[in-house]
Structure 1
Amino acid sequence: MTTASPTTGTLTGLPALAPLLARGALLSPLKRPRPDADFPRTRLVLPGLRVDLARLAAYERVCGFPTGADALPVTYPHVLGFPVAMRLMSGRDFPLPLLGLVHTSIAVTRRSAMPATAEYELTVYVDGLAPHRRGTEASVVTELRAGADVVWESRSTYLARHRTAARPPAEEAPAGNREPLPVRAEWPLAGDTGRRYGAASGDRNPIHLHPLTARLFGFPRAIAHGMWTVARCLAEHGTPDATAVRAEFRAPVLLPGTVTYGAGEGGRFELRGARDGRLHLSGTVEPRPA
């Protein structure tokens, strides 16, 4: 198979999400995912990026971070990079259908505190496809630079479900069977949690907004954004200035509902259903050398 050489595309601003979601939805029925498919090799770069402080404050409030802090919350660069990632994943040359694509994990490395008023350069690219026991998974990398230095980077995986002969690794244990971590907090979640996070982040996917639109995609009620769940946990947990975070999204959180936040040794944290103990999110926070 011949693959295209990597190219760089320079943006003049953050793309609007709504047209990208619509384009991705229209193109989804035309795509047949497989792990050996080619994928876009373009790196999209946005120089001179500055944070909208009013939107940042709204994000901090809905996620539980302190407002008015000098530094960006550890998860906020994902919000900045998400429209650029959607531009890549909604294109004709991205082989996985956007409809039904599931965010399965995120790994973040922050090398130092990031001033909210600084200027950054944002880069987003698709790093590859891989077989998954339930289909095909794409890795998307987001980087934020201050000057020449990468100060924040993430790797998100997105799963397109389809029939596959792949088998899970022998060492993989069912996540839901793990011993729960000690409960540190219980959070009742209102039915408008998805709408409030969508307004702050710009991610207004219909599955997060209203029961009716969520049912169109197979959910009984609206579900919380995965990135809201991890941000809410990290706001409670706390993160060093130089840190490595890993989170895996296990099951959707139905809204309204009540969840418990648990934390234990080794920087582990998780989110579970308050009534049934179902594991929704598991992760770790680790300090790293600056």
Structure 2
Amino acid sequence: MKYRHFKKMPKAYLTYPAILKGAFSSKKLITKTLTLPQVTYVVAEHLVSPKRLVQYNQVCGFKNNGYIPAIYFAMQAQTLHMYMMTQEDFPLAVLSLVHEKNQVIQYQKIIANQSYKITCQFGEVIQTKEGVSVEFISKVYDKEALMAKIKSTYFQACSKNLSNQRQCLTPELEIQAQWRVVQSTTRRYACISGDFNVVHLHDWGAKFFGLDRAIAHGMWTQANIMARLNLPEQYDFNVSFLHPLYLGSDVALSLCDQNIKLLDQHTDLIYVSGCLK
């Protein structure tokens, strides 16, 4: 295992040239067994900007209560994912991947205005006839104490159509909250997160990748749900991104036996589902 150390969180936009270059490279889904680099990225002393945290809480719906939501670090870990996919010997093209699943485990409340160590490394590679799933495992430490663990899973389909063919059920659940996903929120989140993927910002960009129109960030959607729940100090929050959430959609949040269902009222399909422990 090799280590790459950062004094501070790197800038996401510096990976964009490599990501675009990868779109025109020979990288593609291959049939042989894929292996991922044995590397760990480490940001030794990361202090979350108070101003940035307030902006994040506002756009996602969290309270400014002196704590950092664990999913905030999941958002920041995505920058490390981008570096690992572009700076290491990563076998897949970044733009071919979709965010499939996200797990956020918080072991204790994370106090704001102090530094934390963040590590990130590759997890498992899961190959099926439908495609390949790649895991990234990120951890947040206060000195030696593990505060949070995040597992993000990205998927590359063998066929462009497979990722949109997942079957969803629509149970009759009591609606807890309703809201509309608007473009201004998506653009504010992009500025905070550094995720300026065109599928989230412009209809033409989304159509280029086979979508009907621009979609919300999955990480914003998950954070927005978590902010609406009375989560305990310790939790294990899982989501699966099953269907694109288009900008302009009206959505409804329902809860049943601690299973979370987010329904897009335009399509009546479950977008994400999760489970609390």
TM-score by length of 2: 0.92
Quote how far apart the aligned CAs of 1:130 are: 0.9
- The structure-2 alpha-carbon separation of the partners of 1:220 and 1:22, relative to structure 1 and needing over 3 Å to count, comes to farther
Q: CA deviation at 1:69?
A: 1.2
Give the secondary structure class of the aligned counterpart of 1:99.
Answer: helix
CA distance in 2, matches of 1:201, 1:69: 20
Whole-Å separation in 2 of the counterparts to 1:273 and 1:279: 7
Distance 1:232 1:221, change over 3 A: same
What fraction of aligned residue pairs are identical, expressed as a percent? 25
**8 Å contact 1:181–1:269 — kept in the other structure?**
no
CA 1:283–1:133: 2 relative to 1, 3 Å: farther
Query: Which one-letter code corresponds to 1:248 in the other structure?
Result: S
- The alpha-carbon deviation at position 133 of structure 1 amounts to 4.4
Unpaired runs of at least 5, structure 1? 1-5, 164-173
Separation (CA, whole Å) in 2 of partners of 1:92 and 1:154: 20
Match of 1:75 in 2: 71
Considering only aligned residues, what root-mean-square deviation do their CA atoms show, in Å?
1.6
Partner letter of residue 207 of structure 2? Answer: R
In the alignment, is the contact (CA less than 8 A) between 1:106 and 1:155 conserved in 2? yes
- Letter of the structure 2 residue corresponding to residue 13 of structure 1: K
State the Cα deviation string for residues 140-161 of structure 1 (Å, max 9, x = none): 0010100111110011110011
Instruction: Tell me the secondary structure at the aligned position of residue 224 of structure 1.
Output: coil
1:12-91 paired onto structure 2 within 5 Å: 12-28=7-23, 29-34=25-30, 36-66=33-63, 68-91=64-87
Q: SS state of the match for residue 183, structure 2? A: coil
**CA deviation vs aligned residue, 1:36-92 (integer Å, no higher than 9, x gap):** 1221211000101100111111111111111x2111113111122111111001235
Residue of structure 2 equivalent to 1:151:
147
Kept in 1, the 8 Å contact 2:8–2:45? The answer is no
Equivalent position amino acid for 2:51 in 1 = A
1:207 alignment counterpart = 199
Count of equivalent residues: 269
For 1:204 and 1:180, how far apart are their aligned partners in 2? 36
Q: CA deviation at 1:276?
A: 2.8
Equivalent residue in structure 2 for 1:223, among 195, 215, 227: 215
Please state how far the C-alpha of 1:201 moved relative to its aligned partner.
Answer: 1.5
Letter in 1 for 2:11: A
CA contact (8 A) 1:194 1:222 kept: no
**CA shift at 1:215, angstroms?**
2.0
Q: Counterpart of 2:151 in structure 1: which amino acid? A: R
Matched AA of 1:254:
Y
Asked if the contact 1:84–1:124 (Cα under 8 Å) also holds between the matched residues in 2, the reply is yes
Helix, strand or coil at the partner of 1:78: helix
Contact 1:192 1:209 in 2 (8 A): no
Could you tell me which runs of 5 or more consecutive residues in structure 2 were left unpaired when the two chains were aligned: 160-165
Q: Which amino acid aligns with 2:39?
A: T
Between stretches 191-200 and 177-186, larger displacement belongs to 177-186
| CA deviation string 1:154-210 (max 9, x = no partner) | 1111001115xxxxxxxxxx6512524321111112122321111122211111111
Paired residues of 2:131 and 2:156 also in contact (CA < 8 A): yes
| 1:90 alignment partner, SS class | helix
Match of 1:273 among 250, 264, 268: 264
